[in-house]
Chain A
Amino acid sequence: MANAESQYAALWPRGPRQAKVKPLAKRLDTLEGKTVAWVWDYVFRGNEVFEQLEASLRQRYPGVKFLNWDLFGNTHGSDERNVVANLPQKLKELGADAVVSGMGC
């Protein structure tokens, strides 16, 4: 018959976290005269969302510029790792000041 009062000392089942908390990039003072890059995972009508955001942002900041999503590739597909790995370099080459990444749905 099993002893219902047996005592156990149970171990932590998780692995050690590897990510350290990192600082976010400095935020912008304004979007006027800045370049915003649209970065997309090619799903959930992100292209239409970007179009509307672009129109709304132009109304507020007439001097804002945009980099279209097709310059960067699909951020959530078979080439995701390469696209994301190359993103910092590409954003710098194209002069991006800010990134809007969609769609998490």
Chain B
Amino acid sequence: MLRASVAAESAGIPSATLVCESFMTLSKAASQGLGYPNIAVAPVRGHPGLQSKETLQQNVRELTLDGVLNALLKMPVAVTVDGEPGAQEVICSGTFEEINEYFLKHELSDGLPIVPPTVEKVEAFLRHTDRKADEVLGVMLPDNRAATVWSVAVNGVMAGCRPEYMPVLVAAVEAMADHDYGVEHSGNTPGGDNLIILNGPAIKYLDFNYTQGVMRDGFQANTSVGRFWRLYLRNVAGFLPHKNDKATFGNTWRVVVAENEDVVAKIGWTPNCADYGFAAGSNALSVGRYTGGNHISSVSGATPEELMPYIADAVVRQYSWQIMFSVGQGYDTLRPLLLLSPIIAETIASGGWSKEKFREELFKQARMPASMFEKILRDWTQKPTWNLTEEHQAGRIPKMFHESDDPERMVPLVWRPEDFQVVVTGDLGRNSIYVFAHNGVLGFPVCKEIKVPGK
């Protein structure tokens, strides 16, 4: 909303942005990064989702109307932005405890102790990349800061990474800065967090866990790189809770998940990075944002046909309001993610199923009645424009969502089989899967090569 208002202001057209009262702090913080710290907003009382039509109208008349008039007719008072330290400046000196107190006090830490980012430690990280320290990997909203290789190293040190992880950190920030990923949405209310999936020889030579407990903290590479992502979101993108991060509940950062490429090769499947155009054996990472997930235990059956109904049902059960990213708010941007434990993948493959065949069957079976699809979007979440018939007739969605007028017809979650992301990892001896609820356009999966110096 603010970004649209800024577009108008930049064209010389005054704007009023309608902002719920509880979002005023976020609005103020975001407006700085957009270069309009004094942009005017009009308050919306409470939340419209919980108000009768009469109450909503009354609130608009009593509060929002004056806010709109003020914003459009009165020039807001000019605001200056405080200066900041230089990009490579020492900001404090002292003992470990004193440094940590300073970082906590100045909102530069996630609440856990950080490793003090000294020049010596940062330079050790920089020796593990060919990139120049001042190279800008992208510009991060909402704070609108340059993501420099230097800042990657600083936050990598703080997170407890080893210097040799630096190429992974650089690739992660390149993913964060990718427009398709949409980092600017990382503070939205569903509070989803990212998941990094790692492929390539780096898994073994950097000692990432890719077997039992793959999503558990306790493995330095997986854990510290996961923490790095959140620190970078905080310190460079600018997502601070109670400011630009408006997660209703939020999630803790996720540790990196590495794929079990030994099993993938053994069953003749392709690794996750291959779905993004990288050859098997490439060092690469993908990143997407997920609002939650569920462990699906004891997936049982001797054939893929026997396994599929439970798996497909589990996938559908993870998707409620997120289907708005298939039809609606984010057309064709839903990319569900499944982690298959190795013996599940082996059982599926032993039935002669390729990864593609598995996804085709999932596409056929992971469906819900059209009436439910529409009810979630139109009634339960009060989205006014979603009707599958009208959307199809307007040419905005494929025919598969409107094969007939039967409200009980089954419609898919996604537009095509390859929209399902499938990764083999986890306990070698357990028959479970994990299904993630994807956050659509607000964290669309992207994949980046991990460039190792000298290779």
Residues of A near any B CB (own CB < 8 A): 4-22, 24-31, 36-37, 39, 41-49, 52-53, 56-57, 74-81, 83-85, 87-88, 91-92, 96-105
Contacts and interface: CB of A to CB of B under 8 A. Distances in A.
Contacts of A21: 35-37, 79-81
A103 B18 contact: yes
Interface string B1-30: 111110111111111111110010011000
A49 B196 CA distance: 39
A84 B2 CA distance: 10
Contact of A88 (B11, B88, B155): B11
Contact of A101 (B17, B53, B69): B17
A74 to B, nearest CB: 7
B307 interface: no
Contact of B68 (A29, A53, A80, A85): A53
Nearest to A38: B18
Dominant secondary structure at the B interface: mixed
Contacts of A99: 4-5, 8, 13-16
Interface of B: 1-5, 7-20, 23, 26-27, 32-42, 44, 47-49, 53, 56-57, 60-61, 64-65, 68-69, 72-76, 79-81, 84-96, 99, 102-103, 108, 116-119, 122, 139-140, 143-148, 151, 154-155, 158, 179, 231, 235-236, 325, 328-333, 382-385, 440-441
Contacts of B1: 41, 75-76, 101-104
B3 A75 contact: yes
Given A45-B382, A104-B18, A91 B155 contact: no
Given A21-B80, A99-B5, 14 more contacts: A8-B118, A9-B119, A12-B84, A12-B89, A13-B103, A16-B148, A17-B145, A44-B382, A52-B57, A53-B65, A78-B329, A79-B331, A105-B19, A105-B49
A44 B188 CA distance: 14
A81 B148 contact: no
Contacts of B16: 98-101
A10 B74 contact: no
B7 A87 contact: yes
A49 to B, nearest CB: 6
A12 B90 CA distance: 6
Interchain residue pairs A-B with the least CB separation, the first 4: A102-B18, A88-B11, A15-B145, A105-B20
B110 to A, nearest CB: 11
Nearest to A72: B4
11 contacts: A7-B95, A10-B118, A13-B154, A15-B147, A16-B145, A17-B145, A42-B385, A53-B60, A53-B68, A91-B11, A103-B20
Nearest to A92: B11
Given A10-B92, A14-B108, A22-B10, A44 B17 contact: no
Contact of B27 (A31, A47, A49, A104): A104
B8 A25 contact: yes
Contacts of A39: 4-5, 8
A25 B332 contact: no
A27 to B, nearest CB: 5
B7 A24 contact: no
Contacts of A28: 14, 72-73
A12 B91 contact: yes
B170 to A, nearest CB: 14
Contact of B332 (A56, A78, A83, A104): A78
Contact of A7 (B38, B89, B94): B94
A30 B72 CA distance: 9
Given A13-B158, A26-B12, A27-B72, A101 B5 contact: yes
Contact of B35 (A9, A19, A30, A92): A19
A92 B12 CA distance: 10
